[in-house]
Amino acid sequence: MTIKPDRVVLIGVAGDSGCGKSTFLRRLADLFGEELMTVICLDDYHSLDRKQRKEVGVTALNPKANNFDLMYEQIKALKEGQPIDKPIYNHETGMIDPPERVNPNRIVVIEGLHPMHDERVRSLLDFSVYLDLDDEVKIAWKIQRDMAERGHRYEDILASINSRRPDFNAYIDPQRQYADVVIQILPTRLIKDDKERKVLRVRLVQKDNVEGIEPVYLFDEGSTIDWVPCGRKLTCSYPGIRMFYGPDEYYGNSVSV
């Protein structure tokens, strides 16, 4: 027996494949509690399986390969406290498997390539996040993930990245403008020739004047910190930390670490 929640909070998390959405969602689950949060992977709303996409000549990033009508209907039902029979996209076989029953929860997170692409789905969101990886970091992460976890060849990964780039620029990246918060992952400025991308620069950009959301400040508004640890006192390899606040010309307030 399931209990219908009084109100369902809907969060959208957008980003390209391999940009760290799964890691980010694990942190959300730690914050809210797994029992209170249900995650919907929007890959499940692919209208074309892997073979069909190849035959038609489109990538999964192209809206033509996704069923936004069904996505809207089912996400709307969940927000209204109704269960759904959600399709399943099987990443191993590339096929669309039989649906599974999903019950509403207090917090529903929709994550994937297109949570803010369709205006109808976007209007349902209570809060939205866009994960924005620098190209250098994205390539390094995707190579590491796909080679280690999926057994892909280095050459095939690079070819896939290059083939997806036009669709990413056309359909995924424009969703940044709709996000309440953009989390940018950038190469560090503190280490020269950091090829492994183990030390990164993170920038949190928050949209101004979002109802019910206050600006985030680690310290006093406008504070700047620039600290480089003394190598004689510290044994860690990290060269320092810098924190600052400032306006972003496109999004609003930003915090960088």
Residue 251 has which token pair? 């999004």
Alpha carbon distances (Å) from 256 to 91, 165, 216, 236, 245? 35, 27, 11, 21, 7
What pLDDT score was predicted for residue 88?
A: 97
Q: Would you identify the CATH topology of the domain 1-135?
A: Rossmann fold (3.40.50)
Nearest in space to 218 (alpha carbons), one of 237, 185, 236, 242: 242
What is the DSSP pairing of strand 200-207 with strand 96-102?
A: unpaired
**Mean pLDDT throughout 22-26?**
89
Phi (first) and psi of residue 106, to 5 degrees: -65, -35
Q: What is the pLDDT of residues 113-139, one digit of tens each?
A: 999 999 999 999 999 999 998 888 887
What pLDDT score was predicted for residue 250?
A: 46
> Domain residue spans in the chain?
1-135
Residue 247 has which token pair? 């306006």
Residue 86 has which token pair? 């959600």
Q: What is the pLDDT of residues 37-63, one digit of tens each?
A: 999 999 999 999 999 999 999 999 999
What pLDDT score was predicted for residue 43?
A: 96
pTM of the model: 0.83
CB 175 within 8 A of CB 181: no
Q: What is d(CA 177, CA 171) in angstroms, rounded to the nearest whole number?
A: 12
Q: What is the pLDDT of residues 84-108, one digit of tens each?
A: 999 999 999 999 999 999 999 999 9
Mapping DSSP to helix (H, G, I), strand (E, B) and coil, where does residue 252 land? strand
Q: What is the pLDDT of residues 156-193, one digit of tens each?
A: 777 878 888 999 999 999 999 999 999 998 887 766 66
Dihedral, CA atoms, 58, 59, 62, 67, nearest 10 degrees? 90
State the chain's mean pLDDT as an integer: 84
Residue 163 has which token pair? 């083939």
Q: What is d(CA 66, CA 121) in angstroms, rounded to the nearest whole number?
A: 13
Alpha carbon distances (Å) from 147 to 113, 133, 141, 206, 246? 21, 19, 10, 34, 38
Q: Which amino acid is located at 140 in the chain? A: A
Mapping DSSP to helix (H, G, I), strand (E, B) and coil, where does residue 223 land? coil
Nearest in space to 215 (alpha carbons), one of 245, 185, 243: 245
What pLDDT score was predicted for residue 1?
A: 42
What pLDDT score was predicted for residue 85?
A: 98
Query: If you search the block for the tokens 């950038």, which residue do you land on?
Result: 186
Query: Which has the higher per-residue pLDDT, 249 or 184?
Result: 184
